[in-house]
Amino acid sequence: MSQTSTSKDIAFLKEQAKAVRIEILKMLAEAGSGHTGGSLSAADVATALYFSKMRHNPKDPSWKERDRFILSKGHAAPLLYAVLALSGYFDKSLLKTLRKIGSPLQGHPCSKLLPGVEISTGSLGQGLSIANGIAMGLKMDGVTSRVYCVLGDGEIQEGQVWEAAMTASHYRLDNMCAIIDNNGLQIDGPCCDVMALEPIAEKWKSFGWHVIDINGHDMKAILGALDEAEGIKGKPTMIVARTVKGKGVSFFEGKVQYHGMAPTQEELKKALEELENNG
Amino acid sequence: MGERREEGGKESRGQGIKGSRGEINHSLETSNPRNLEPSQTKPVATRDAYGDALLELGKKRKEVVVLDADLSGSTKTAKFAKVFPERFFNIGISEQDLIGTAGGLSLTGKMPFASTFAVFETGRAWEQIRQTISYSSLNVKLVATHSGITVAEDGASHQAIEDIALMRVLPNMTVIVPADGIETKQVIEAIADFYGPVYVRLGRAKVPVIMPENYRFTIGKAYKFHTGRDANIIATGIMVSVSLDAMEMLKKDGIDAGVINMPTVKPLDNDAVIEAAKASGLIVTAEEHSVIGGLGGAVAELLSENYPVRVKRIGVKDTFGCSGPSDELMKLYGLTAEDIVRTIKEALKKS
């Protein structure tokens, strides 16, 4: 759909993103803990992937030809669970079990427990290496599937990310498209205060990646970047998605304390009202 | 290869681990159960056997892919790389990425063998192994070389004496330490038929061939050379041949000590350990590893809960290694047949 995305498609995706945000907030409030800010900031990117760009089949999660999605920033698990549930991988009612004993919806994604999760993540900095390995394996088999990997911006402080950045470039993994959810905040404060990241785009360019810098909440820009990435040959693509932490709920937006805090029932009520009204 | 991992020392040019009487291969004369021809008994480093076994496996199984971190010449994965360049990935000096990339390849149905030195594989990338490989039970074979103090001249920075403990503590992980070249080849074939994460610990130095040619390794099964009535030595890796020397020395003094080769440290062959404890009442563990957390730890844990007998642990005593020739280091750290003999005699005196 995205190659010729119409205003109707964009409107559909915006509605889907809203539904995803609603599910994120509801499951987090029910769980009473979890990562709100970073789940909301990457919601538009994940929505564009799951409801437009990616080839996947919720009825056959291990379909060989599927595109792969690796959530390297595993703490945004509620976002992954929301897009999986709304895609039909499992019943939406399961979202209520997030973080509870016996639930396949662990605090951070666990591939052994939940079909649709490609690999367990949660310890930061590891997803890109895994995505590289998948991309290599697919190329060896002549499978044309693409690999998408979403990283946090604070996450790229992990040294392993740069090891993987070299590997993707060295092995010319053009079936790989990584996305940085650049919301500018990490647990201890603004990234620029904790450990400065900029210039992010130039760093990845210097590592041999094709880099696309976009507004990570502009659905048209997201789809455009994903299409552009698909056309790049001989090198991997990094989409630097400039986002707002807590996006969609005014009183969460840009607030560092909501990195790892779930909404209260009262906040949930207000947040849902706001999302509905902002249609 | 980077300077910090330069392979120094003379050992790789032929000098092996010497036994109690200074002969390279003397254990074969005294304890070889099947009288091997001399040509078959030439000492071989387990890493060399790995290089050959990996190449053979690669010919048989297309899904085998190999990854290394700039040490393919030393780990011997270069043999595979030469024949199957399209299935070999050098990841450079980046062990954490090595593990993650191997994990990703396994998710596409490949069977990755990821190799580097034991200290870097299990130490530098421990958390990657935990999070990506063992938590998700990925079919990745972690085959590390240059374990233990017999890395020799390179010194403590390169001598992994904690790796068995580091891998053994991880759920879903199988831990195997082959005793010689024959066993190494068997192990590589066996782990290819097993789905799941495995850590295989190999060495740099040449070691005597002690396992019978017709030996068939099974994951989780010990190999009994002899069950003793006075003491039983449960050994792994290069310490098996040293233990066989000790057994012969004790025999001359009228002490009946047995030797059990325990290639699989996890899952441990519980029955074999308990049987040995029942037979002798004194168990001595022997490993080229810290006495903390390795085979000695595993055996002591099992016996203290199930069949408490006296356990003495031969190994590196909670200290770092140092530079030197491997045979001198074995003496310095108390890993010779004489050390085992003395330990057993003292323990028997006190009992």
Q: Which domains does chain B have, with CATH numbers?
A: 44-207 (3.40.50.970), 220-350 (3.40.50.920)
- Measured between CA atoms, the residue of chain B closest to residue A74 is B131
Residues sharing a CB contact under 8 Å with residue B218, sequence separation 6 or more, in sequence order: B190
User: Residue B292, Cβ neighbours under 10 Å: how many?
Assistant: 15
Q: How far is CA B226 from CA A153, B207, B234, B244, in A?
A: 60, 20, 11, 9
What the block records as the tokens of B107 is 């998710």
Predicted local distance difference test score (pLDDT) of residue B23 = 32
B100, A138: Cβ pair inside 8 Å?
A: no
Of the candidates B183, B187, B232, which has an alpha carbon nearest to the alpha carbon of residue B209?
B183
Count the Cβ atoms, other than its own, within 10 Å of residue A150.
Answer: 30
For B104, the closest of A110, A120, A129 (CB atoms) is A129
Q: Which pLDDT score, from 0 to 100, does residue A8 have?
A: 84
Give A174's Cβ-side CA count (13 Å radius): 11
Cβ–Cβ < 8 Å for B186, B218? no
Residue predicted with more confidence, B33 or B175: B175
- Pair A118, A74: CB distance under 8 Å: no
Is the pLDDT at B2 greater than 80? The verdict is: no
Which structure tokens are listed for B24?
């390279």
Please indicate whether residue A1 or residue B253 has the higher confidence score (pLDDT).
B253
Cβ-Cβ contacts under 8 Å, B137 against chain A: 112
Chain B residues close to A130, C-beta within 8 Å: 100-101, 103-104, 107, 132
DSSP letters for B120-187: IIIIITHHHIIIIIITTT---EEEEBSBSGGGGGG-GGG-BSSHHHHHHTSTT-EEE---SHHHHHHH
H-assigned helices in chain B: 26-31, 46-60, 72-75, 78-83, 95-106, 118, 126-128, 163-168, 181-192, 239-252, 270-280, 295-306, 326-332, 337-350
**Would you say A132 and A173 are in contact if contact means Cβ atoms under 8 Å apart?**
yes
Report the distance separating Cα B133 and Cα A80, nearest Å.
21
Average pLDDT value for chain A: 96
- Cα dihedral sign for A32, A33, A34, A38? positive
The pLDDT of residue B41: 72
Q: Over chain B, what is the mean pLDDT?
A: 91
Confidence (pLDDT) at B330: 98
Evaluate whether A211 touches A229 at the Cβ level (below 8 Å).
no
Q: Could you give the 3-state DSSP secondary structure of residue B74?
A: helix
Structure token pair of residue A267: 């906040």
Question: Is B95 one of the annotated active-site residues of the chain?
Answer: yes
What are A228-241's pLDDT values in tens digits?
999 999 999 999 99
Give pLDDT, residue B350. Answer: 82
Q: Which residue of B has its CA nearest to A109?
A: B136
Given CA atoms B322, B327, B328, B333 in this order, what sign does their dihedral have?
Answer: positive
For A2-277, which CATH superfamily applies? Thiamin diphosphate (ThDP)-binding fold, Pyr/PP domains (3.40.50.970)
The Cα A138–Cα B108 span in angstroms is 7
Predicted-assembly ipTM surpassing the 0.85 threshold: yes
Chain A residues with CB-CB distance to B97 below 8 A: 129, 132, 160, 163-164, 166-167
Domain ranges, ordered by start, for chain A: 2-277
Q: What is the dihedral of CA A124, A181, A167, B194, to 10 degrees?
A: 50
Judge whether residue B14 has pLDDT over 90: no
Residues in chain B, total: 351
Nearest to B104 among A121, A131, A170 (CB): A131
Q: Provide the pLDDT for residue A4.
A: 59
Q: What is the pLDDT of residues B65-77, one digit of tens each?
A: 999 999 999 999 9
List the single range of A65-79, A146-160, B13-27, B270-284 with lowest mean pLDDT: B13-27
The pLDDT of B285-289, averaged and rounded, is 98
pLDDT < 70 positions in chain A: 1-4, 279
CB B334: neighbour CB atoms within 10 A?
A: 16
d(CA B314, CA A206): 52
CB contact under 8 A, B92 and A128: no
> pLDDT tens digits, residue range B102-156?
999 999 999 999 999 999 999 999 999 999 999 999 999 999 999 999 999 999 9
pLDDT value, residue A7:
85
CA atoms within a 13 Å half-sphere pointing along the CA-CB vector of A129: 33
Q: What is the CA radius of gyration of chain A?
A: 17
Count Cβ–Cβ pairs < 8 Å, chain A vs chain B.
110
Q: Which residues have CB under 8 Å from B150's CB, separation 6+?
A: B11, B17, B203, B204, B205, B238, B288, B326, B329, B330
Residue B40 confidence class, pLDDT cut points 50, 70, 90:
low
How many degrees, rounded to 5, is the angle at CA B180 between CA B171 and CA B48?
Answer: 95
Q: What separation in angstroms does the CA of B40 have from each of B14, B24, B212, B248?
A: 16, 14, 10, 22
3-state secondary structure chain A: CHHHCCHHHHHHHHHHHHHHHHHHHHHHHHHCCCCCHHHHHCHHHHHHHHHHHCCCCCCCCCCCCCCEEEECCHHHHHHHHHHHHHHCCCCHHHHHHCCCCCCCCCCCCCCCCCCCCCCCCCCCCCHHHHHHHHHHHHHHHCCCCCEEEEEECHHHHCHHHHHHHHHHHHCCCCCEEEEEEECCEECCEEHHHHCCCCCHHHHHHHCCCEEEEEECCCHHHHHHHHHHHHHCCCCCEEEEEECCCCCCCCCCCCCHHHCCCCCCHHHHHHHHHHHHHCC
Give the max Cα distance, chain B.
61
- Over range B76-80, report the average pLDDT: 98
Is residue B6 scored above 80 in pLDDT? no
If contacts are CB pairs under 8 Å, which of residues 162-201 in chain A contact chain B?
163-164, 166-167, 170-171
According to the model, what pLDDT value does residue B28 have? 31
Write the CA distances from A253 to A39, A209, A248, integer angstroms.
Answer: 12, 30, 7
Task: Work out the average pLDDT over B287-314.
Answer: 98
